[in-house]
Amino acid sequence: TQSTRPQRLLGAVQKNATRGDPRSVVQAIDQFCRQKEWAMNVGDEKGCILDSVVSEVNPATVLELGTYCGYSTVRIASLLPPHAKLITLEFNPDFAAIARQVIAWAGLEDKVHLIEGASGDWIPKMTEQFGVKTFDLVFLDHWKDRYLPDTMLMEECGLLRKGSILLADNVICPGTPDYLEYVRSSPRYESQYFKSHLEYTKVEDGLEKSVFLG
Ligand SMILES: Cc1ncnc2c1ncn2[C@@H]1O[C@H](/C=C/CNC(=O)c2cc(-c3ccc(F)cc3)cc(O)c2O)[C@@H](O)[C@H]1O
Ligand SMILES: [Mg+2]
């Protein structure tokens, strides 16, 4: 039977990356996506911006919405301090299965909690299920029409504290107009746009970093 693109991406990791070496996993995926098949990972260019924000925030608790194959999960987890926790939500079981293997190949399974389920169902359960009071950093990279409702839901559930950082992928391409309007106009956020390019292309895209002001 035909393999899927995520399966071929995992194959490239297992073939070209060194077990336990997150940077080699990231490099293997970027090489695969540049040379073989485009895939919707945040990519190397926007990935450097993601790395700098993670390093600056030095978060103890991170939430990622939309794991896909685990590329940004590996980038983020590889920069976390020893006891930090990254919770990543993915509702497609096939993608979740690939992501688990990518995360394991990088040797980061102890830092990552991959939950198979929908963000809308799981955001309200974060405190009771994982003892998370608030998130220091949230990376939004799931369906673009879910960014705004899930941000409002996180506010309602008290998961954001003064200083929590939201970092959103694809605010230009494919675009998240309602989310962008919200975080840029709300007095409860201080927003900043990091201009970049759509992964592995010359098309404009960027990340929006928004600080929750409480
Ligand atoms: C509510 C809920 N709960 C849990 N998991 C959820 C969830 N909603 C989605 N997911 C999961 O997250 C990923 C989905 C990511 C969506 N990302 C994009 O659509 C995307 C697209 C492009 C793109 C740009 C130009 C083009 F021409 C074509 C595509 C680039 C990107 O970077 C993207 O992120 C995927 O793994 C999906 O199962
Ligand atoms: Mg994206």
DSSP H helix total and E strand total for the chain: 9, 7
Q: Cβ(90) to ligand 1 under 6 A?
A: yes
Q: Cβ(66) to ligand 1 under 6 A?
A: yes
Q: State the Cα–Cα distance between residues 70 and 95, nearest whole angstrom.
A: 9
**Which pTM was predicted?**
0.99
Q: What is the pLDDT of residue 170?
A: 98
Task: State in Å: Cα 194 to ligand 2 middle.
Answer: 14
Six token digits for residue 89: 């939500």
Q: What is the pLDDT of residue 1?
A: 83
Q: State the Cα–Cα distance between residues 147 and 178, nearest whole angstrom.
A: 9
Q: With a cut of 70, which residues of the chain have pLDDT below it?
A: none
The number of the ligand nearest the C-alpha atom of 121 reads 1
